[in-house]
Amino acid sequence: MNFNTRLLLSTLLVSTLAFSGFCTAQTGDSANQTAGTESQAKASELNIDKPLYKPFIERYILDELKQLRQDQQAMRAELTDKVTNARLDVSDRAIRYTADTTNNVFYIITTVATLLVLLGWKSLKDIKDNLVSVTEQRLERMTQEYEKRLNAIELALKERSDQIVAAQQNISDNALIHSLWMRAGLEKSEHEKIKIYDQILDVNPNDVEALTYKADTLLDLDEDSWALSLANQAIENDSDYALAYWQKGCAQAKLGFENEAVADIKKAIELSQSLQSELPIESYFENLKEHPEFSKLVESSVVAEEQA
């Protein structure tokens, strides 16, 4: 039986006892009013019964109160024991958690130290030295890479500047050559023309037109061998330049090399059909009029003009 049940029973007993006393008092008063003798007899009986019942009730109440006090003390002791055990459990958990955390920290420190020893980093100084070394190596590689890139950019810029300078020089040379060609067209003196052609060849030694026109001028000055040499040089520079073969044929015709002259004339006409019309009027081919191959070339040119 728990404490609350016992307290409820004791309350009921006290209430019952009080109600019984009240009822007894009411009964005694009514008996006194009804009959004296009977009242005295009942009163004597009641006076006899009261000493018999009252001690038992009081004893029961006292026992119950004592039991309630004992139960209350037992409950307090039990509650105190539970609170103490709970506090001990919490303290034990906190101590165990602290111990586990401390052990884990020591395990981590030991593992890190072991890894550092295995990796060769025995101290913070070693770590610093290795970090500096790795950083320097990285910076050196980056420096070399950027140096290569800068060298490549420098070379590209140099090549580009050389190209620009060459283009400017080419433009300047072309302008100078153009002006010299205009002067040569206006010049009447053969010797002055040769000087102008020499100036053009100073600017561009491989100018095929300058070599060819110089050879033509030398033919007018009866410098046939020199003209033949210049024509050969022009052909070496450009084997498809028809006028060079034409001037070579003229030089060989004047020098008496008729077969070679006819072969060069054929080559010139093959490269440029417009030269075919010049065959009958070219003065340097007077020595070739009796040559059969040359005659055929002249006849074919006449036929071509009539058909045109």
Decide if 116 is inside a domain: no
Based on the domain organization, do 167 and 215 belong to the same domain? no
Cα separation, 171 vs 66, whole angstroms: 133
Render pLDDT for 3-24 as a digit per residue (tens, 0 to 9). 555 556 556 655 665 555 544 4
Of the candidates 105, 104, 128, the one whose C-alpha atom is nearest the C-alpha of residue 116 is 128
The pLDDT of residue 204 is 85
Is there a single domain that holds both residue 239 and residue 295? Answer: yes
CATH of the domain at 214: 1.25.40.10
Please tell me whether residues 177 and 135 are part of one structural domain.
Answer: yes
> In whole angstroms, how far apart are CA 269 and each of 1, 252, 273, 301?
145, 16, 5, 10
- The pTM of the full predicted model, rounded to 2 decimals, is 0.48
Same domain, 143 and 92: no
Residue 117 lies in a domain: no
Q: Does residue 114 form part of some domain? A: no
* Calpha distance 214→201 (Å, rounded): 10
Instruction: Render pLDDT for 113-163 as a digit per residue (tens, 0 to 9).
Output: 777 666 655 566 777 777 788 888 888 999 999 889 989 998 988 888 888
Listed residues 108, 140, 168: the one ending a domain:
108
Domain that holds residue 174: 122-186
Same domain, 222 and 151: no
* Tokens, residue 33: 């009013």
Q: pLDDT under 50 in the chain at which residues?
A: 1, 22-50, 52
Residue 113 is assigned to a structural domain of this protein: no
CA separation for the pair 243, 177 (Å, rounded):
19
224 within 8 A of 255, measured Cβ to Cβ: yes
Identity of residue 240: D
Q: Indicate if 138 and 99 belong to the same structural domain.
A: no
Q: Please give the distance of CA 164 from its chain centroid, rounded to a whole number.
A: 35
- For residues 161 and 182, membership in a common domain is answered with yes
In a shared domain, residues 231 and 299: yes
Domain stop point among 81, 108, 135: 108
77: three-class secondary structure by DSSP: helix
Q: Count of domains in the chain?
A: 3
CA-to-CA separations, 215 to 115, 185, 222, 244, 303, in angstroms, rounded: 91, 15, 10, 9, 30
- Of the residues 186, 201, 233, the one at which a domain ends: 186
CA atoms within 13 A on the CB side of 220: 11
Q: Looking at residue 39, what is its pLDDT?
A: 47
Burial tier of 269 (Cβ tally within 10 Å: 0-12, 13-18, 19+): buried
Q: State whether 67 and 165 are in the same domain.
A: no
